[in-house]
Amino acid sequence: WIGDRKSLVGPGSSPPTCLAKCGRCGPCEPVHVPIQPGLSLPLEYYPEAWRCKCGNKLFMP
Amino acid sequence: YSSPVYSLPHNEGRALMSIKASFSNVANVLLDWDDDHNHDFCSWRGVFCDNVSLSVAALNLSNLNLGGEISPSIGDLRNLQSIDFQGNKLTGQIPDEIGNCGLLVHLDLSDNLLYGDIPFTVSKLKQLEFLNMKNNQLTGPIPSTLTQIPNLKTLDLARNQLTGEIPRLIYWNEVLQYLGLRGNFLTGSLSSDMCQLTGLWYFDVRGNNLTGSIPDSIGNCTSFEILDISYNQISGEIPYNIGFLQVATLSLQGNRLTGKIPDVIGLMQALAVLDLSENELDGPIPPILGNLSYTGKLYLHGNKLTGPIPPELGNMSKLSYLQLNDNQLVGTIPSELGKLDQLFELNLANNYLEGPIPHNISSCTALNQFNVHGNNLNGSIPLGFQNLESLTYLNLSANNFKGRIPVELGRIVNLDTLDLSCNHFLGPVPASIGDLEHLLSLNLSNNQLVGPLPAEFGNLRSVQMIDMSFNNLSGSIPMELGLLQNIISLILNNNHFQGKIPDRLTNCFSLANLNLSYNNLSGILPPMKNFSRFEPNSFIGNPLLCGNWLGSICGPYMEK
């Protein structure tokens, strides 16, 4: 339970650990990935989400 | 169930032909849609048939520049599972008959010019998982009957002209993963029911007219990865429960949020982007925000934040954007910010900061933009700034900086904007400024600079704006300025320049704004024709200058 980011023992969050989230690929690291919500003005930043990355492949945390 | 519906193949061919007939711009792209010469519509461009039933299972006509309308005959293609008309110029209304395509799983009409209401018949598409109508001109409300689609995973209606409230029922969907409603005219408030979206990761209502406050129960939205409620009229305080969110992006900017930034946000270490800018937040920046060691973007600008910049922000080791400008921050710039070796943009403009720029800032070697405009900062420009090789934007204007402009500034070769105006800089203008070959805008006005304008300014081949006004510069205007082929504004007024205006200045064909007034220039204006485009105001206050204006030594005779 400790370290489980979905546990609701109190407020707060942490990035995903990405343990065993990249299949057989390693190392599997959490990264920020921009999510493009369609046509966006160039000055607007994209929202970002966490994904697990191994090499150039992304996996859901 | 999803068993195919019986429909005669020749009827489908006919339906496709009438779909083609209501499109325009089909000449080249749908050449093979021709049942006189090719009966096998399964081979037509963009038509994909089911292997067994040989009826149309998918229509992919995306990005073909198609105009015209979507024919009601689309409803005759009863076995369609996927329609992709994205990225065309389709206009008119979405036909009600689309609701007859009962096996549709994927419907993408985005990036077109469709108008009118979203047909209620869409709710008959019980197999639908993906519905994208973003970037059209759809009006009217979001049909609450959309909630009758049991497997809908993606609903993207962004950038239309939809009005009314977000139907509450839409929130009672455990399957929905993506809700994109940004850029409409939606009203009403956020409902606490929104956290019933237990499978949702993307919630985006940016840029609508939503009012009311953030529901206290927001912390229950634990599946959300992105929460974007920016650019609405949301008021009230940021609730404590926001700290229970697991989001990577929290975008609350451009609302009317009041009160303090809750400390609990400092515990949200999953935050990659935290944007609370352009609200009415007051109180200090909580030092605990320094705990956000995975956050890359922190925007708190445009609020009423008071107190100092917490040195703890120097612990946000992944930070690339830090914007604290347009607040009421006091105290000095903490030297701890020098630890932010990934910092790309630092904007502290328009606060009440004082003291010098700490030397450590020169350690932020990734720095691209540095803006401290409009504070009470003093001291001189740290020599270490020459190491900031990535810097493109440097704005120290409207402070109390003094001392000489360091020669070493000429080494920041990527600068496109250098603004040191409205300070107390003195001494000569270093010739090395001429090495900044990418410079677009140079503003050294309103200082106490002396000596000549370096001839090396002629090397600023990209420059569009030079403002040296209100200094004590002297000597003649270098003829090398005639080399500046991109210059639009040349502002040299209120100095002590003397001698003749160089004829070569007439080679600056893009020059639209010239101000040489209030100097000691003499001689006659360059006689070239294109120089007459400048009004007398560009030259007044030079008693020995001869030109065609009232009061000039050789000007028109003054009538009584």
Q: Is the N-terminal amide bond of B4 cis, ω within 30° of 0?
A: no
Asked if B301 has any chain A CB less than 8 Å from its own CB, the reply is no
Q: Chain B closest CA to A16's CA: distance in Å?
A: 8
Using the 8-state DSSP alphabet, how is residue B475 labeled? S
Asked if A9 has any chain B CB less than 8 Å from its own CB, the reply is no
What pLDDT score does B204 carry? 95
Structure tokens, B316: 């946000």
Q: Chain A closest CA to B518's CA: distance in Å?
A: 40
Q: Are B214 and B192 in contact (CB under 8 A)?
A: no
Q: Chain A closest CA to B292's CA: distance in Å?
A: 9
Burial classification of residue B528, based on how many CB atoms lie within 10 Å of its CB (0-12 exposed, 13-18 middle, 19 or more buried): exposed
Distance CA B501, CA B518 (A): 13
Distance CA B258, CA B253 (A): 12
What pLDDT score does B7 carry? 54
Q: Which residues pair with B27 in a beta bridge?
A: none
Q: Find the residue in A nearest to B269 (Cα).
A: A14
Q: Are A37 and B230 in contact (CB under 8 A)?
A: no
pLDDT averaged over consecutive 10-residue blocks of chain B (560 residues)? Answer: 54 91 86 84 93 92 95 95 96 96 96 96 96 97 92 96 95 93 96 94 96 96 96 98 96 98 97 98 98 97 98 97 98 97 97 97 95 97 93 98 95 96 97 96 98 96 97 96 95 96 92 95 83 87 84 63
Q: Which residues in chain A are closer than 8 Å to B273, comparing Cβ atoms?
A: 45, 47-48
Q: Chain A closest CA to B268's CA: distance in Å?
A: 4
Query: Using the beta-carbon criterion (under 8 Å), do A49 and B243 form an inter-chain contact?
Result: no
Q: Which residues in chain A are closer than 8 Å to B245, comparing Cβ atoms?
A: 13
Of residues B92 and A7, the one with the higher pLDDT is B92
Residue with tokens 């140079």: B442
Asked if A8 has any chain B CB less than 8 Å from its own CB, the reply is yes
Task: Return phi, psi of residue B48, to 5°.
Answer: -125, 125
Q: Are B244 and B222 in contact (CB under 8 A)?
A: yes
- Picking from B182, B226, B268, the nearest residue to A12 by CB comes out as B268
- Picking from A5, A13, A47, the nearest residue to B251 by CB comes out as A47
Asked if B156 has any chain A CB less than 8 Å from its own CB, the reply is yes
Tell me the whole-structure pTM to 2 decimals.
Answer: 0.92
Helix (H) or strand (E) holding B306: strand B304-306
Asked if B84 has any chain A CB less than 8 Å from its own CB, the reply is no
Mutation pick from B226, B250, B252, B253 vs chain A, by most beta carbons of A within 10 Å, is B226
Of residues A23 and B114, the one with the higher pLDDT is B114
Complex prediction ipTM = 0.84
Closest CA to B480 of B500, B450, B499, B503: B503
Asked if A56 has any chain B CB less than 8 Å from its own CB, the reply is no
Query: Using the beta-carbon criterion (under 8 Å), do B201 and A15 form an inter-chain contact?
Result: no
Using the 8-state DSSP alphabet, how is residue B388 labeled? -
Using the 8-state DSSP alphabet, how is residue B166 labeled? P
